[in-house]
Amino acid sequence: MTYEEALKYIHSVNWVGSKLGLERTQELLEKLGSPHKKLKFIHIAGTNGKGSTAAMLASILEKAGYRTGLYTSPFINRFNERMQVNGKQIPDGTLAELTGLIQPYADAMEDAPTEFELITALAMEYFLREKCDIVVLEVGMGGELDSTNVIGTPEAAVIAAMGLDHVKELGPAMADIARAKAGIIKSGGSVVSYGGNPEADPVFEAVCREKGAKLRQPDFSGIVPGEFDLDGQSFSYGGWKDLRIPLAGRYQMNNAAVVLETVEVLRERGWRISEEAVRQGMAATRWPARFEILRRDPVFIVDGGHNPHGIRATAGSLQRLFPGRKITFVTGVMADKDVESILGIIVPLASEFFTVRPENPRAMAAEELAGRIQALGARATPCESVAEGVAKAIAAEGPEGVACALGSLYMSGEVRECFAQNL
């Protein structure tokens, strides 16, 4: 099987899009010899910040000398991004080999696995073959019935910032979403929660009491911001002084505090993580499409924020870095998102919009999005492609301006490809 054949098979129309439940993943993994039972994990759920938190933790653990796996979704530019070991993506040949290994098992299943379930099983086998000391494992959706939740008690269960998303699948209320994400909390485990959500926090606290799990939360009031610019920011937190992260978003300091609390949990469990490993790991973190600077003349930022909570965080970062400035936005959204709330946040910051339709069947048409923006009294021009939207935004701003692409993580890869020579 070639790499191209492997991707074709993984993305096959035979797979049903989203089916919650663990049975299919468990069946596949059993046929592979249950590789997940021979690995250790940090399990990360939440609405926003999962990927950034995972990237920081993986970088720190690598600097601490551990062979570290990282499993994330979705990918931005290339499928292989989803599975990494010590910062290196799974090789094309290995992906093809493992897909060929798993295909007969998947084809023989009476209840066909979904694409995500197949990928999760494949990743577990990959991380075992790579002799990973620990795997940083990001939940796909929810928690309790997400295919990644086949694992036992992790070294730490981390719950990132909470917001309303995937309400169709997880439930309409914040408490419903919290209960789904609390499914990663296991008996006797250690939990680090972002906290600060009055509807979600009581759910996590109750589940921790029920399962005898230890819960800790960061104290964001203890964050002392330092210098910040387009290249990142420094901050202090608790006993940690003058840490540097090359991530410009204001919200990343909060994510970093969650990471530092998780480091303390890992230390308590016997993981040897020095202060130098923490400093080096944070400084070396790279995470594409999260308030990522793609150009400086004009400044062009891409951010994968796609729900009101994430968009609000991005807006705060823009106001922090460019106080009083109006921004040109390249915007595309999924039609099933809370578009009204998203636009309510960014329209007051905008000089104008160039709307696009991301490559996804759920995406809203550029013309419809432009019409909804115009109804709010803002300028909006629909574009035939993401590349056209990017080009028009750059031309509109000139060398001294600021432009930002946001609204959907699915279009971030297309935006980045427009600047590929600079990445």
Contact 200, 174 (CB under 8 A): yes
Mean pLDDT of the chain: 93
Q: Cα–Cα distance between 314 and 88 in angstroms, integer?
A: 28
Mean pLDDT of 200-210: 96
Q: Reduced to 3 states, what is the DSSP secondary structure of residue 294?
A: strand
Does the pLDDT value for residue 259 go beyond 90?
A: yes
Contact 112, 14 (CB under 8 A): yes
Alpha carbons within 13 A on the beta-carbon side of 292: 24
pLDDT at residue 145 in the model: 87
Choice among 13-27, 47-61, 103-117, 272-286 with the minimum mean pLDDT: 13-27
Mean pLDDT of 404-417: 92
CATH class of the domain at 3-283: alpha beta
Mean pLDDT of 47-59: 94
Closest CA to 35 of 104, 129, 115, 119: 129
The residue type of 41 is F
Alpha helix stretches (DSSP H) within 213-354: 252-268, 275-283, 308-321, 339-346
User: Which of the four CATH numbers 3.90.190.20, 3.30.470.20, 3.90.850.10, 3.30.390.50 does domain 292-422 have?
Assistant: 3.90.190.20
Distance in angstroms between the alpha carbons of the first and the last residue of the chain: 31
Q: Cα–Cα distance between 137 and 149 in angstroms, integer?
A: 10
Q: How confident is the model at residue 16 (pLDDT cuts 50, 70, 90)?
A: low
Angle at 53 between CA 48 and CA 54, to 5 degrees: 110
φ and ψ at residue 416, rounded to 5 degrees:
-65, -35
φ and ψ at residue 339, rounded to 5 degrees:
-65, -40
- pLDDT higher at 360 or 352: 352
Contact 162, 11 (CB under 8 A): no
Does the pLDDT value for residue 168 go beyond 60?
A: no
pLDDT digits (tens, 9 = 90+) for 372-391: 999 999 999 999 999 999 99
* 242-269: b (≥16 Cβ within 10 Å) or e: ebbbebbbbbbbbbbbbbbbbbbbbeee
Contact 247, 254 (CB under 8 A): no
Contact 170, 177 (CB under 8 A): yes
Give residue limits of the domains in the chain: 3-283, 292-422
pLDDT digits (tens, 9 = 90+) for 110-137: 998 999 999 999 999 999 999 999 999 9
**Structure letter (DSSP) for residue 48:** B
Mean pLDDT of 223-235: 95
Compute the CA torsion angle 161, 162, 167, 172 (nearest 10 deg).
Answer: 180
Contact 271, 64 (CB under 8 A): yes
Q: Cα–Cα distance between 238 and 224 in angstroms, integer?
A: 9
Q: What is the DSSP string of 123-189?
A: HHHHHHHTT-SEEEEE-SSSSTTSGGGGS-S-SEEEE-B-----HHHH-SSHHHHHHHHGGG--TT-
Q: Cα–Cα distance between 330 and 389 in angstroms, integer?
A: 6
